C-alpha cells in the first residue's frame, strides 16, 4: 500500500465512483497533483522523481505516467536535459483561468438549476451553516473547503460529465492560487463564504436570470481579489494585462436576452 492512500478527499478532486479501483499511475497522479496544488511543490520548482518515489511509495513507471498526465494539464513542464519542473503561474494564466471559469460555471449553474430537486436546493442552501463554528476555531482552510464544496455540488449534479471534469480541473488551479496568496485571514475567508448569500437566494427562488448575474458577479469579484493578492504577494513588478474577464457586459451577467 502506498503512503498516498487513506488520505481525506481533497475538495479539488472529482469524487471516486463507489467500488471504483484506481491504478497506481492514477494514485500517483492524484498524489503529485495535490502536492502541486497545495504548493508543496511550488510553481517553477524542479521535480526530483527519485525523491517523489521515496516520499509517495510509487514505482518509477507509475510516477512517470502521472507526470506525463500532469504535463497534459500544463501543471508540469518537461524541459531539455530531462529536467522536470512545476509550471509557473503568471498573470496571463490567471486571466485565462478565470475567463474560462466564468463561462463554464454559468453554464453549470444553469444546467443544475433546470433539474435540481428541492432536496438538492436545500442541501446547497445549508452549505455555509458551519461558518460561525469555523470562525471561532480560526479554521481558514475549513472555510475555504466549504466554498469549494458549495461549488462542487453543482459541478457533480449538472449532469454533464465533460463539464464536471473541466470545472474540477479549474477548481484545482484556483485552489493553488489560494495557497499562493493565502494570508490566513479568518475574517476575510468568512466574508468570502458569506458572499454566496445572493447566489443561494436566487437558487431558492429558482430565478435563473438573477442566478446567472450573481454567478458572473461572484467570479468577477473572485478574480479581482486573487489578482490583487497575487500582485502584492507574488510579483515584484506590476504591469498591465488584457482583462478579458471583466468586460462591462460580463460584470452585469448575461447580455440582453
Same domain, 81 and 102: no
Whether pLDDT at 22 is above 60: yes
231 within domain boundaries? yes
Q: Is the pTM for the entire model greater than 0.85? A: no
Other beta carbons within 10 Å of 128 = 21
Same domain, 209 and 150: yes
**Residues counted in the chain:** 257
Overall domain count for the chain: 2
The enclosing H or E element of 84 equals: strand 84-86
DSSP codes joined into one string, 108-172: HHHHHHHH--HHHHHHHHTTTTTHHHHHHHT-HHHHHHHHHHHHHHHHHHSS-HHHHHHHHHHHH
189 within domain boundaries? yes
Measure the CA–CA gap between 32 and 14, rounded to whole angstroms: 15
pLDDT-derived band at 251, boundaries 50, 70, 90 = very low
95 within domain boundaries? yes
pLDDT of residue 19: 58
**Cα 168 to chain center, whole Å?**
6
User: Is residue 185 exposed (0-12), middle (13-18) or buried (19+ Cβ within 10 Å)?
Assistant: exposed
Same domain, 146 and 41: no
Same domain, 68 and 96: no
Whether pLDDT at 184 is above 80: yes
Same domain, 163 and 82: no
Q: How many CA atoms lie within 13 A of 37 on its CB side?
A: 20
- The domain containing residue 157 runs over which residues? 91-251
Q: Mean of the pLDDT values across residues 216-226?
A: 93
Among the three residues 64, 86, 108, which one is the final residue of a domain in this structure?
86
Same domain, 139 and 205: yes
pLDDT of residue 234: 53
Same domain, 235 and 129: yes
The x, y and z cell numbers of residue 45, run together, are: 520548482
- Among 134, 174, 135, smallest CA distance to 152 is for 174
Measure the CA–CA gap between 108 and 180, rounded to whole angstroms: 27
116 within domain boundaries? yes
Same domain, 95 and 55: no
167 within domain boundaries? yes
Same domain, 46 and 78: yes
Same domain, 43 and 127: no
Same domain, 207 and 123: yes
Same domain, 71 and 99: no
pLDDT of residue 192: 94
The pLDDT tens digits of the residues spanning 90-148 come to 888 899 999 999 999 999 999 999 999 999 999 999 999 999 999 999 999 999 999 99
Amino acid at each position: 500500500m502506498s503512503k498516498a492512500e487513506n488520505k481525506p478527499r481533497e475538495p479539488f478532486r472529482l469524487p471516486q465512483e463507489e467500488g471504483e479501483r484506481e491504478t497506481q499511475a492514477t494514485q500517483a497522479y492524484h498524489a503529485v497533483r495535490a502536492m502541486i496544488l497545495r504548493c508543496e511543490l511550488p510553481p517553477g520548482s524542479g521535480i526530483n522523481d527519485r525523491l517523489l518515489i521515496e516520499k509517495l511509495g510509487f514505482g518509477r513507471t507509475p510516477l512517470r505516467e502521472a507526470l506525463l498526465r500532469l504535463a497534459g494539464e500544463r501543471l508540469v513542464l518537461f524541459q531539455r536535459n530531462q529536467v522536470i519542473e512545476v509550471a509557473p503561474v503568471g498573470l496571463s494564466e490567471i486571466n485565462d483561468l478565470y475567463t474560462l471559469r466564468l463561462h463554464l460555471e454559468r453554464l453549470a449553474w444553469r444546467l443544475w438549476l433546470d433539474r435540481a430537486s428541492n432536496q438538492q436546493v436545500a442541501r446547497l442552501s445549508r452549505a455555509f451553516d458551519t461558518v460561525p463554528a469555523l470562525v471561532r476555531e480560526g479554521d481558514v482552510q475549513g472555510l475555504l473547503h466549504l466554498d469549494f464544496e458549495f461549488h462542487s455540488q453543482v459541478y457533480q449534479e449538472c449532469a454533464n460529465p465533460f463539464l464536471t471534469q473541466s470545472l474540477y480541473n479549474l477548481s484545482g488551479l484556483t485552489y493553488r492560487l489560494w495557497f499562493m496568496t493565502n494570508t490566513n485571514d479568518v475574517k476575510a475567508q468568512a466574508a468570502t463564504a458569506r458572499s454566496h448569500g445572493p447566489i443561494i437566494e436566487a437558487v431558492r427562488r429558482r430565478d435563473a436570470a438573477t442566478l446567472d448575474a450573481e454567478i458572473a458577479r461572484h467570479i468577477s469579484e473572485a478574480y479581482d481579489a486573487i489578482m490583487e493578492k497575487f500582485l502584492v504577494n507574488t510579483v515584484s513588478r506590476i504591469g498591465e494585462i488584457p482583462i478579458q474577464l471583466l468586460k462591462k457586459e460580463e460584470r452585469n451577467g448575461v447580455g440582453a436576452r
